[in-house]
Structure 1
Amino acid sequence: MGQLVELEKKIEAKRFELNLASRHHDLLSDFVLKLSVELDELLNTYYKSA
């Protein structure tokens, strides 16, 4: 159960980072897209583990 909690924290941190980045960069910028892919990977890991 502890691993899921840690994963949830990482997901929330990445969401925050992506949200912040999207305010300062174009939504199709490489930076924002990279963060989006990272969030997708975290979410996929979470759903496979849950």
Structure 2
Amino acid sequence: MGQFIELEKKIEAKRFELNLASHSHDLLSEYVLKLSIELDELLNTYNKSA
């Protein structure tokens, strides 16, 4: 149970970071794409664990 809460917190933090980055960087910039990939990986981990 605790691991799900921790993973959810990481997902929300990464979403927030990605949202901020999208306002200051081009959406196709390497930085925004890197954050997007990291969020995808977190979401995949969460979905596999559920």
Report the TM-score, using the length of structure 1 for normalisation: 0.99
> Percent identity at matched positions?
84
Q: Which runs of 5+ in 1 are unaligned?
A: none
Count residues in correspondence. Answer: 50
Residue 42 of structure 2: aligned partner: 42
Q: Deviation of residue 6 (structure 1)? A: 0.1
Cα root mean square deviation, aligned: 0.2
Q: Which runs of 5+ in 2 are unaligned?
A: none
Residue 31 of structure 2: aligned partner: 31
Distance 1:5 1:44 in 2: 15
Distance 1:6 1:49 in 2: 13
Runs in 1 of length 4+ with deviation above 6 angstroms? none
Q: Deviation of residue 30 (structure 1)? A: 0.1
Report the TM-score, using the length of structure 2 for normalisation: 0.99
Q: Deviation of residue 23 (structure 1)? A: 0.1
